[in-house]
Chains A and B, each alone.
Chain A
């Protein structure tokens, strides 16, 4: 893993993103430079420049098909970008795969829930904690003290994480049998288990009612405050995005059309055009 060449910082990056006051003196946790991907002849994402502070909650919005989830897939290396650089805490992630990016500190949830639905809630979180346990295969077969110590620690940690969403009583339930909202919350818990420095949430409020959404909002802020991590979320629920996101990035047809705070975005004519269209003149 090579450190990103510092000279490259001379390349001007059009980033009007507002990095919160508390993060100003630190390098951003995530920096995308001229990121782009082509599928055959189709350019899905192009010239994606964005920076996220160490403890920022950033939003990524845009109409359907704008390329939001593709950006997440680029960040987690489900797709390898065609051009551009992704810097994670100043380190270039070129050539890494999904697993390595996860170990480097990016965890994510999915738009269509991808839980291990036949396993219990506890097992789901323990799989999230997989990399935090270090014992090897012979240790497991012989059940040496290291196994017991690490398993016990991981179980306690899992209950602790589940208690964020008050789900510790559901630990022995089958994950697939949980209600929809609880499954979404479990995905967040599982992602937190991998000890990320950047948490990517793909439509965390989808399918939730307003009171659940309000609770989720509080929880996202709580997660940021307790774990001191950055959160980036894709969301169609504007009340959530406008309320908790410190920096928002609007994507349309794979390009960023606006960046800034909630206020900037709400008044941006380009954004209004993308969402509502323009009146036909004449």
Chain B
């Protein structure tokens, strides 16, 4: 009789209830903090930035950690989402909208930017995912740059007033607040978790583990690669939307190669394939430069040193591929229904 058989088992509704309650608690706490004014504007800004980076890291983790590919154009999808929502929010004049309408417009902007980014994900994914490893990295890097260059030049070439070129898209309504960032994080993690714990998620993992074996198990690898890439792009678009609504202005220069690398560093540092790892490292790597502002000269040195030390002493990242499960911990300490005798006797 193995040890695992004797462990208590939490029923699925109980698991969902526990996690649901915790999520609601988190949102209520954050809302109370901001509403009471305990958080100053500066901290709110950082909190929102942390949230946006969490969504970016968790979404990139789908393509790097779960699918096992190395795309370097994540900032491109973020730019697509950001500009989509920026143009949309400006055109519908959110400032004048009433309460219900305002909420609708914000939700529409988030969903729309996700969908447009996902469409770009499909378009780029189909040719790019025929390649592997370094080649995929380079082609996605190229596509990311193409998106940035197109955004910079499309107005002057076609004579539109969409993106306002290099001077940037300005006066975007500032719709992002702590509440909608928190909700987006929760939805992102929830959707990605639900996908990964299904036959589709297992198919994505099987491609990372062994592509030839996956194919011989009847997993359509091309389809699932594009699916993972598209999911990744969708949530990058959502993050882009929140980013636009936070800053109020967008410059194409902000979505360059370095931004993609920054997100990738978060994923690698957190541990590829670990959602909690991505969340933690996105938090740490966003707060760290701010916390080190006191020693501004040494700021980037410390930041780089942390990364180098991390890679020397824990090359698999903060958490490796460990994924956090509250239910599992509760089961370990014996909360939940004990298995029946018959089951345990096997």
Contacts and interface: CB of A to CB of B under 8 A. Distances in A.
Interface stretch (A34-42, A121-129, A209-217, A223-231): A121-129
Contact of A78 (B203, B212, B221): B212
A123 B194 contact: no
A143 interface: yes
10 contacts: A98-B216, A99-B219, A114-B213, A119-B206, A126-B202, A137-B198, A137-B200, A137-B227, A150-B199, A194-B218
B195 interface: yes
B202 A99 contact: no
Contacts of B201: 140
B2 interface: yes
B138 interface: no
B195 A128 contact: no
B95 to A, nearest CB: 33
B46 to A, nearest CB: 31
Interface in A73-116: 76, 78, 97-99, 102-103, 107-108, 110, 114-116
A140 B198 contact: yes
A99 B215 contact: yes
Contacts of B209: 115-119
B216 A76 contact: yes
Contacts of B221: 99
B166 interface: no
Contacts of A141: 191, 194-195
Closest 10 CB pairs of A and B: A140-B198, A116-B209, A114-B213, A102-B218, A131-B218, A98-B215, A127-B206, A133-B199, A141-B194, A114-B210
A225 B73 CA distance: 53
Given A130-B199, A140-B200, A150-B199, 20 more contacts: A78-B212, A99-B215, A103-B218, A107-B216, A108-B216, A110-B212, A115-B209, A115-B213, A119-B202, A127-B205, A127-B217, A127-B219, A131-B218, A135-B198, A140-B199, A141-B195, A154-B199, A169-B2, A172-B4, A194-B217
B52 to A, nearest CB: 22
Nearest to A127: B206
A48 interface: no
Interface of A: 76, 78, 97-99, 102-103, 107-108, 110, 114-119, 123, 126-128, 130-131, 133, 135, 137, 140-143, 147, 150-151, 154, 169, 172, 190-191, 193-194
B199 A135 contact: yes
Contacts of A110: 212-213, 216
B4 A128 contact: no
B220 interface: yes
B341 interface: no
A143 B194 contact: yes
Interface residues on B, range: 20 to 34
A147 B2 CA distance: 29
Interface string B175-215: 00000000000000001001100111111011001101111
Nearest to A110: B213
A266 to B, nearest CB: 33
A137 B4 contact: no
Nearest to A195: B218
Interface string B287-325: 000000000000000000000000000000000010000
Interface string B1-23: 01011000000000000000000
B194 A140 contact: yes
Nearest to B222: A99
A158 B346 CA distance: 17
A118 B320 CA distance: 12
Nearest to B213: A114
Contacts of B198: 135, 137, 140, 147, 151
A118 B321 contact: yes
B218 A99 contact: yes
A119 B205 contact: yes
Contacts of A154: 199
A11 to B, nearest CB: 30
B199 A102 contact: no
Interface string B234-275: 000000000000000000000000000000000000000000
Nearest to B221: A99
Contacts of A169: 2, 5, 346
B217 A102 contact: yes
A140 B195 contact: yes
A78 B205 CA distance: 21
Contact of B202 (A97, A108, A123): A123
A117 to B, nearest CB: 6
Nearest to A150: B199
